[in-house]
Amino acid sequence: MAFVDREVREITSGSPEIDRKMGGGIPSGSLTLIEGASDAGKSVVTQQILWGSLTQADCRVTMFTTESTVKSLMKQMNSLGLDVLDYLLLDRLRVYPLQMMKSDIDLERALKVISEAIHRETETDLIIIDSLTAFVTHVSVESTIEFFEDCKNLCNEGQTIFIVVHSYAFNESMLIRVRSMCDAHLSFKISQMGDKLLKEMEVSKVRGASHTTGNIVAFEVEPGWGMRVIPVSKAQV
């Protein structure tokens, strides 16, 4: 399978602080795992990366989401100062909502359908799946591993894929296996720093980063402003 070569070297968040921690950005052709606790900032950072890729790196982005409808995603991103509606209208951003509410849905088959859909997105620079949690918690271990292996093979051929998942969806041995398959791993949690509860992103690894990666980014989310990175030294005061 041939992917369109648009010479996108790195996936950027559009935030200098975040990119610096990621070693300058996530290299294209990477399979990236974004995992962590509920409400710890996974989707916010994912949306920041989506916005940065569209506006700063001139990427084409495809997003599969169980978290939002197209309308609610546009509204949420706009409230964070991350307006991408024009890119959606110009077909530079494609959003495919995944309906998970039907009790009779065959999640094993649905996971294969998503994999098939990803294979068809040959003209996109970045594919985001937010999130895979509903699948991982209800399908077999073999199906989950097969899905990640398929994504890894696509990345080896030139695709770039970000997969978002809640940590509780994996047991420890499964998480170790999935992490080892991924080229980049960002983990999230909520931390008490001084008198503040902050969202925290740890850059566990970024293979092939152009610069040395950082470690931990603490941030708040403010409506109308978006992510606000908090220096750890200040947060601990």
So what's the pLDDT on residue 149? 96
Q: Is the pLDDT score of 237 beyond 50?
A: no
CA 78 from centroid of its chain's CA atoms: 18
Q: 22 vs 73, 209, 212, 214, 231, CA distance in Å?
A: 25, 7, 8, 6, 16
pLDDT digits (tens, 9 = 90+) for 67-95: 889 999 999 999 999 999 999 999 999 99
pLDDT digits (tens, 9 = 90+) for 25-44: 999 999 999 999 999 999 99
So what's the pLDDT on residue 233? 58
Residue 1: pLDDT band (50, 70, 90) is: very low
CA atoms of 205 and 187, how far apart (whole Å): 10
So what's the pLDDT on residue 229? 87
- Which letter, b or e, does each residue of 174-201 get, where b requires 16 or more Cβ atoms within 10 Å of its Cβ? ebeebeeebbbbbbbeeeebeeeebbbb
Q: Are 199 and 167 in contact (CB under 8 A)?
A: no
DSSP-assigned beta bridge partners for residue 220: 228
For 159-230, where are the alpha helices, taking DSSP H only?
Answer: 172-181
So what's the pLDDT on residue 213? 74
pLDDT digits (tens, 9 = 90+) for 96-138: 998 754 455 788 888 999 999 999 999 999 999 999 998 888 8
20 residue type, one letter: R
Instruction: Please enumerate in sequence order all residues whose Cβ is within 8 A of that of 119, keeping only pairs 6 or more positions apart, or say none.
Output: 1, 154
177 residue type, one letter: R
CA atoms of 93 and 139, how far apart (whole Å): 29
CATH numbers and ranges of domains, the chain: 10-235 (3.40.50.300)
pLDDT digits (tens, 9 = 90+) for 192-236: 877 778 999 999 999 987 777 778 889 998 877 788 888 765 544
